[in-house]
A = this chain, B = another copy of it.
Amino acid sequence: MGPGQKTKDKTYCYKFPMVSVTVDCVIFGWDSDGLHVLLIERGEEPFEGQWALPGGFIRAEEEDLEEAARRELFEETGIRSAYLEQLGTYGHPKRDPRKEHVITVAYVTLVKRDEHRPQGGTDARSAHWIPMERARRKRLAFDHDQILSDAVERLYNKLRYDPLGFKLLPNKFPLRDVQQLYEAAIGHEIDKRNFRKKLLETGLLEDTQEIETDVKHRAAKLYQFNWMAYHKRQAEGWKFDI
């Protein structure tokens, strides 16, 4: 495996066939009508016109994988800091119909929809929030169906043991929204009293003394999740479990 050698016509040559590496992001958002995922309509071949996860080639020799994922996230959403987690790497030699072998490292990111400035990507692709049920019915480009379905499964499983769900909610939220998120995750209704009791018993939710506005009926109190306290408790060996 000799290092790449730059020749006059700006090509990079190697002794063995190489692979290209892309990073794809499953960007989740949440609002009162459920979980959404940010998809783009591809503006170029292959799969031109089809829906796909936002992603792109990494800058070899310069960029770390996570850096590339953050760059991608920023280009699509304008968000610089968000929860980001590696999901897995998909490397079947035929997963990209083009000749070369393209593997992709998939990341999951959770964003608050109220922080998202929805401008499209730098190139001509347009990004849209698609509700999950609709997204899962679409035939996505490459193996993105698989990646998306792995991502949803991972997210839903992880909610039980990790407060990352609060990364999807606005900073201040009514308990109802937390419950709806968890109900979507486990696929059935939860008893309101039991759920609120467990949630508040953690001591990690603070009453902001504010209430909802613009709501058609009795307004609920707004809470915020105390991440500082959570990290302290976690360092002491405590485990979130809801």
User: What residues of chain A have their CB less than 8 Å away from a CB belonging to chain B?
Assistant: 1, 3-4, 7, 10-21, 57-58, 60-65, 86, 88-93, 98-103, 105
Contacts and interface: CB of A to CB of B under 8 A. Distances in A.
Contact of A14 (B11, B58, B98): B11
B13 A11 contact: yes
A90 B7 CA distance: 29
19 contacts: A3-B99, A4-B17, A10-B15, A11-B13, A12-B13, A12-B18, A16-B60, A18-B19, A18-B20, A19-B19, A19-B58, A21-B91, A60-B101, A61-B93, A63-B93, A64-B92, A64-B93, A65-B92, A65-B103
3 cross-chain pairs, A with B, having the tightest CB-CB distances, nearest first: A3-B99, A18-B18, A65-B91
Contacts of A4: 17-18, 99-100
A88 B1 CA distance: 23
A7 B100 CA distance: 16
A14 B18 contact: yes
A21 B17 CA distance: 11
A15 to B, nearest CB: 6
A11 B12 CA distance: 10
A195 B60 CA distance: 50
Contact of A100 (B57, B61, B100): B61
Contact of A105 (B10, B63, B89): B89
Nearest to A102: B1
B17 A19 contact: no
Contact of A21 (B3, B14, B21): B21
A69 to B, nearest CB: 10
A12 B17 contact: yes
Contacts of A91: 21, 58, 64-65, 105
A19 B90 CA distance: 15
A47 to B, nearest CB: 15
